[in-house]
Amino acid sequence: MSTIIFTELEGWEQAYLTEKLPQHKLVFLTKPLAAGDFAEFAAAEVVAPFIYTPIDQAAISALPNLKLIATRSTGFDHIDLAAAKIRGVTICNVPYYGENTVAEHTWALILALSRKIFQSYERTERGNFQIDQSLRGFDLAGKILGIIGCGHIGQHVVRIARAFAMKVLVFDPKANTELARELGFTYVSLDTLLKEADVITLHAALNDKTRHLLNADNMKLIKPGAVLVNTARGGLVDTQALVQALANGRLAGAGLDVLEEESNIREESQVLSPEFHKTVDYRNLVANHILQTRDDVIITPHNAFNSTEAVRRILDTTIDNIKAFLSGSPINLVK
């Protein structure tokens, strides 16, 4: 029997996990764990966190029996890979739970921006049904969609784009010419994509090479009047550069499901913690606040993954990951 910690769970998930993993001691937490909390769970051999529980060196050190980190997400930037490797801790993720789910949310944001849905809704909520130039959107048909990162989610975005009769440009260091031919898109450099795309959407992983992939230097290349959508990771975009691009009119709008400092502002009570002040970038917090007050920005709370079907797939894959590891045949490894 293994002790397994699950963080950030809903009630129905606890019942489901209890049914599927009856032979283990399961610890269920509804909130994220902070670094100082892990010592309480020193017996844990497996931790199955979501994205708001940072598994850093301090957390790993506080768990002497830890053997597996089974993150319930595709991304793993909340895990210190180097510290885990030194300790010999295995890491696995959920690679394919929501390519259609996140892609659909991406298109919800694109359509909301292109047709001024939020502004229209706010106006009618006030009882004003007047139509004027401020609510005038733009057609997607015939426009150029630029996709940064063409993995499983990006590919699904391409398929939907074809239904809108859009031309698709893709920037991805790992070019697949057969895939491009099959789906009907063209690989280009990042600079070319920024110069030509009317809609830019990010679907890349966050790591040392991709942090601030969009920054003050290359965002100057963006086609004037383009819109930007990010349902991947907030750190892919330099927040202060994004604010500037919106302020000077280079970008006409942004749809964001992720923010660069979102983990720091998840709960107001975290501001009271000394750990908060060690990691927070106050300039980005201010920039995020500015984004939230802009009429040309739509922000959703890292909700792109959140469909009934996708959440169930996340749990099922996590259960499979844990069972496979404990049986000696690990799957979905993060290396």
Please choose, from the candidates 235, 181, 176, the residue with its C-alpha nearest in 3D space to the C-alpha of residue 204.
235
* Residue keyed to tokens 């309480």: 40
- Annotate 237-293 with DSSP letters as a single string: B-HHHHHHHHHTTSEEEEEES--TTGGGGS-GGGGGSHHHHHH--HHHHHHHHHHHH
Tokens of 43: 């017996």
Please choose, from the candidates 231, 266, 207, 307, the residue with its C-alpha nearest in 3D space to the C-alpha of residue 33.
266
Please choose, from the candidates 207, 213, 209, 208, the residue with its C-alpha nearest in 3D space to the C-alpha of residue 228.
213
Q: How far apart are CA 79 and CA 2, in angstroms?
A: 21
**8 A C-beta contact, residue 216 and residue 238:** yes
Q: Can you point out the beta strands (E) in 203-243? A: 226-230
Quote the longest CA-to-CA distance of the chain. 65
Residues assigned a catalytic role:
233, 262, 302
CB atoms within 10 A of CB 314: 21
